[in-house]
Every structure is written in structure tokens, then in C-alpha cells.
Structure 1
Amino acid sequence: MALLDKLAKASVQSCDIDKELYNQYNVKRGLRNADFSGVLVGLTNIGNVVGYTKDENGVSIPRQGELYYRGYEISSLARGFQADGRHGFEETAFLLLSGKLPNKEELKEFCEMIRAEQELPFSVSKNLILSLRGKCVMNMLARTVLGLYTEDEEAENYSPENLIKQSISLIARFPVIVAYAYFGMRHSFQRKSLIIRHPKPGLSLAENFLYMLKGSGNYTRLEADLLDLALVLHAEHGGGNNSSFTTRVVSSSQTDTYSAISAALGSLKGGLHGGANIKVIRMMDNVKAHVKNWDDENEVDEYLTKMLNKKAFDGTGKIYGIGHAIYTLSDPRCVLLKEKARELARQAGREDEYNLYESIEKLAPKAFYRFKGSNTKTIAANVDFYSGFIYQCLGIPEELFTPIFAIARVAGWAAHRIEEVTSSSARIIRPAYKSVVDQRDYMPISER
């Protein structure tokens, strides 16, 4: 253990780099510019995230957020399938993969293709999920995706037809893998019943997930509608988000689909990416425990100020779920989720909690501006602020919050992988790192 401690300390010391060197060499840390906008590293036809505009002097001007899938604004997509009284995730996946909206016959056939791929090979479900169980559903999902490589005789075939086939298969199987992995984990580590429900024909992907998780008759139409909407809103967010960029980086090396998607899952698992809504839940539990009167805005505001001053909750000075790297005045995903969240909260008997969320959404930006002494950085609630609360109202356990994100985002990852490997301008992604360590002469071991 002494050597282990010594190695750990030496490792940390060897990683220390003078922060002034980043400025000296104009390093874009985190691939961010000085104004925190992303460094332009590629072009895409898939998604676009709009949170501000720039004037003639390059100054960012806040605006209402917009999210586009293949040129279609997310609000118009959502309101389109909602007006028809149907679920929209399958239609969204078709759009992301093909670049066009399906007609009725195409959508019907596409849904049939998804249903045909939902059943997992027995060897995969038995050996990788039900026998080799794990405590983390995200890791089990990534492991199972890699295992599916062995079941695919065309795993290394990079033709567009095969890439689409693999994409549809993964989109179809993610909910099944997640449900089975969760019950396997629950059985092994929480000593609860092992429940395996096979996907049910005729249900949408969102409905099937709720069915596999809760059983027939244990979820409402509103609950299925909201889960479907959440999947649509999380399906894509431009090529610059960490997991989609990971997909493109790994795909650019010409590796297989399963390796690229498992790498994206590793990225999404991180607390700074896919786990943000769980941090909101933890924060809200803390607020609920320390604010006596949830309806008293002054008391709520005082506690938010304590959080900003690192005197409450986790001491980080952050209000989770408030602010975004790109969105300023609003996050369109948050706006759409919130429209139905109150109705769901009322159905779940949690309207008081919803009101507290709404109060914090209103008060947090004001507290932040007051704390900073300026409003130069415009912030608003992001999608993670309400999504965890919605999943709670749906009766979904926290262990599945990030896996649900993956169930949705695999459609976007698949689209970005196809674009990366088939684009005429594709080349391996290899940014530069400058070495700032002094050269040293080798010293014989007897002289060290």
C-alpha cells in the first residue's frame, strides 16, 4: 500500500500543469472559446442547438432557445404528433437516421422493423444480463452492447444499409436491455423479485418500456405520453455534446458500431453529462428538508443564496438544473416538458412539489445575478431541472434516469456515426496536444 500511495501522489504531481501555459499557447480548454462557446470542429446535417445570436462585434445576445432535428424545430415536431394523439419517438428516430419525416406507410414499416428487433438473443440476455449481473445499469448496458457484436455476422460491414440495420436494432433493444439489467441488479443486490417481461407487440417503444418495468395496467396514458415526449427531447442535441462527440471521435477511426456506441455510453454515464437530473433530485430533497414553508418565496430565496455562498447543500455553490452551456433565455426541452409536468404532478399527488420546482425556476436566476453582482450571463432552467421529477412521478427508480437518457440518445448517436463514417470529408479526428515537460536524459537504475 505504501508504494500505491507513493505512485498515486507522483501521478497527481506529474499531471500538474501551470494554468498560465494554457493562455500562453491559446489552448481551448474543454474545446471552449474564451466566451465559453464551443470550438467549431465539424459540420453536420443532423441537429442544431440555438441559444444566442452574435452582433457585428461578436457579442452574444441572449434569445429564446431552439433545438432543431434535421432542420425541424423541436416544438413543431412535438406538437405535430401530440395533435394526432400518437407517440413520436419512432418518427423522431426515423427522421434522425434518414433526414426526412416518414409518411404513414414508412412509419408503420419502420415500427414493425423495431418490433422485430426487440427480442434479445437468448445467449445475450442469459449470459450478459441475467447471469453476469452488475450494480450499474449503464455499465451493464455498455457491456451488453459490446456483447451484441458477437451475435452480428455483419458487425464489421460499413455499408449504409448495414449501418441502418444496426442502428434500428440498437434503438429497439436498448429499452429491453435496460429493463432486464435493472431487474437483474435489483434481484442480486437489493434481494427483490426477478421479473422479466418480454416486449409486447403493438406498443410504442415508450409504452413497452413502462410495460416491462411496471406491468400491464400499472401506467396511465399520460405517463406513457410524457415518457415518449422525454425520449423525443433527449434523442439529439447537436454533434458537440460529449457523448455524441465521443461517438464521432471513435467512429472516425473506422471501428465498429458496437464499440462506438459503448464508448458513447461511457461518456453519458458521467455526472457532468447524463447524471445531471439526479443531482437536481438530491438538491431538491435538501431544499425540501431545510425550507419549512415551500410557498414562502423569501425563505426559498434565502436558501438559494446560502447554496450560492457554499453554505448549504453540497458546498459547490451550484444550483443544479439552472443554466446551460448554450441556452440562455430558455431551454426548449424544459419548456415542452413543463407544459405537461403539472398535470402529471397532479395525477401523482405531488403538486406541492411541482410548485416548489416552479418557484425555484423563477427565483434561482435572480439569486444568481444578485450573487454575481451582474446579469452578464443569462441563465434559465434546463431540461434536467424537471426531468428527474417527472421520472419520479412516473414511478421510475433513480438507477434508470441515465439509462433512459441513453434509450433516447442512441438514435442521435447512430445518426452521427453514420454521418461520420459516410461523409466525403471524413477523416480520423486527431486534435493536437502540446507537450510542456522539459526533456530529460535517461538515468541508469543504479543512479536513481
Structure 2
Amino acid sequence: MSFTSAAGHAGAVANPRSRVILASLIGTTIEFYDFYVYATAAVLVFPHLFFPPGNDTTALLASFAIFGAAMVARPLGAIFFGHLGDKRGRKVTLVGALLTMGIATFLIGLLPTFHQVGWFAPALLVVMRLAQGFALGGEWSGAALVATENAPPGKRAVYGTFPQLGAPLGFILANGLFLIIAAALPSDDPTRPSNAFLEWGWRIPFLFSIVMVAVGLWVRLHLVESTAFKKTVTDGKVHKLPLALVFRTHFRQLVLGTFYMLATYVLFYLMTTFSLSYGRAGTGAALPGLGYDYTTFVLMMIIGVVFFGIFTLLSGPWAERWGRRRTLIAVTLAIIVFGLTWVPMLAAGPVGVMAWLILGFSLMGMTFGPMGALLPELFPANVRYTGSGIAYNVSSILGAAVAPFIAIALWSWGGGSPFWVGIYLSAMAGLTLIALLLGSETRDIDIEA
């Protein structure tokens, strides 16, 4: 079964709907699985294995610094893969991004530790982490373009939620696998993984990623190019330097798109990475937290992530009905309020903590879902891969790269209270709200123009 594009080019060769959905979903699921595997290891494993012993807080901050280093590489990946995607097509670029990510993740599972090779170990970890970020810089925008450029009329926001759904699915797969391994290799100390887990168990999720990459490659190699890109080629609009063109003609859209994503990124990494540190920290730790054991808190997080997935899917029809801008303005206002409620919610015991996780991840789905359509719609087809990728990934530096680090600094400054971390989230959401108010609706643009 095939269908025409939003511009109505009847009879054009197109991808079947099921292939579009699967190709955009499975790739981002793998990419986010790889990222979550690292994020979990950054909290549980790397502070113990890749840095000198002596100061747990310093080791955790160093681990998060390497985590954030990938975000710096992402705009470079967006430029490189965006250039290829706007000149050579979406298909070959997506295959290259997926291979780069998969190989880097697999190699992390083979790295020596600080005890074995000293500072060479964290140096290698940085290299692999930069490769992960470089690949993800090209993955998301390509997957979003596959979804939106192949969507039926009036369904771009709905189809745009499928690559976004890879985030909650990747989280569940990555953390579910870590839970299984932790259960098989139990520890007597709830604040520290078992020796077997630290010696070899943590490597399994990284090595397993190669199997998922093989499946993703099989799906993507069966794609055909979108009508929007073919029309760009036919009309002679492929530009020699898409990067120069997008900065010259669509700089305002680049800036707006970057700030559209800011609240999403900050919320995303606070709810996934910071929350795992805060949830597991004991009341007597240097930075006191909620004091949950790893298994209990990750199970609570997985429940929250289920709501992430549900509201990601719901956000698509809402963005079609009310428009991308109106939907996101309402959600961003809710994020601002959410940031102001952290202390009373987290002080309300297990019920309050669970409500905090569900509400945070639900808002994450509602703000993340429409981005799959909104960011590509800001740019014309001949610079769409480059433009949407740069906006998405520069925002990762302003939001995700520094969010865990700033959160821990604010957590420490507040004497273990999450109050200032919540204020930080509200402030970043305020910047996103300003950008949305300055922007315009994109629902009715011609995706092939």
C-alpha cells in the first residue's frame, strides 16, 4: 500500500505507511537505547570504574561531564549528516548515522577501566561518547524527515510522533535490560552495584546494541527516497552548501527552533539522568536524596516513561487539531508550573514521588511529540535536514549538555533540596515560551516546497 505526499503528487513512488512508521521508529529507538545505556552507566558504573577513587561526587560530576560532551558533538553531526541528507538523500544518511552510533556503543562495552590503563580509560570513553553524539546529531532529523515527508495530508504531526516514540521505548529497553542484569547479579550494598556487575555485567547492554543495529539497518535499506527530496533534485534546488544557505536565508528559524527545544531537553535529562541520581542518593550521603534502591526507583521511572509514550502519541492529534504552536504554548506553561512544585511533591512520600515522575514524563511526551513535525516544517526541503538537525542539536548543548551538571550543582548549593533544580527547569521553560510567542504556526506549510 502506498500513498501520495501532502502536496498531492499522485502516482509517485512512495514508501508504504508501515515501512515509514517502522523505519522512523526503530532507528530512534536504537539511538535512544544507546544513549540511555550510557546515561544509566554514567550513574551506576562509570564513576566507580573510569575515574580514580576517593571522591564520589567528583567522579559523578566527571561522568556527567563526559555524558554532556556528546551534546557538543551533536551539532557537528547535524552539520555533517545534514549536508549529506540535503545533497545525497535521506536514506543513505540515516544508514550512516545508525552504523556510527551502533559501532561506538558496541566499543564502549569493550573498553578497559581506570584500574587497567589509568587515564587512558576515560580518554577512550570520551572518544566513544563523542562518536555517539556525532551520530545522534544526524539520526533524529533524518528519522523525523522520513516520517513527515512521507505523511498523508493532515497527518504530519501524527507521523512525526513515531520517531519521538523511540525515546520512551529506548528507555524501557535499556533500563529493563539493566534491571534484569542487576537482578541476576545482586549486590549486598544498595548504594553500589555488585562486583560481578562492575566487572562484566554492565558491558552486556552495550554489546547487545549491535543486534538492534542489524535489525534497524535491514529496515532502512528498504526505504525509498521521499517525494519532497526527489522534487528538490528534479527542480534543481539541491544546494552545494546547505549549511551556508540555511544560515543566510533561515537564521531566524534556526534560533527559534533551538529555543523551541530548550524546555524539552532540560526536562528530558532532569527526569531521566538527574532523577536517577537524586532518587538513589541516601539521606546520609554527601548530597542527600530520596534514598530508594536502584531496582525500586528504576521501576518507578519505567512506570513514568509509559506515560511518556502515551502522551507522545496523544500529542500528535492535538497538534493537528489545535496547531503546533498553541499546543506547545499550553504544555510549556504547564512545565513552568511543574518546576515550581518539586519540593511539595517530592516531600509527599512514595505517592508524591510517583506522581512527580508520572507528571514530569507526561509533560515530556506532550512537549517532545510535536517537535517531530514542527522543526522540519520550519525549513524548505533543500535545507530541511541541515536546518532541523542544527536547531535540534544546538539546543542539546544549551539544555541537555549542561542540565545534569547544573542540576547537581544546584542540588549541592541547596543543601540536598531539589528546589533550585525545579526553578532552573521553570526558567528554561520560560525561554521556550518566549520563543513560541515570537514564532508562527507551521501546520499548513507545503512540505515539498
Higher helix share: 2
Fold agreement, TM-score > 0.5: no
Structure number with the bigger relative contact order (C-alpha 8 A, sep ≥ 6) is 2
Q: TM-score, normalised by structure 2?
A: 0.29
Q: TM-score, normalised by structure 1?
A: 0.29
Larger Rg: 1
Higher strand share: 1
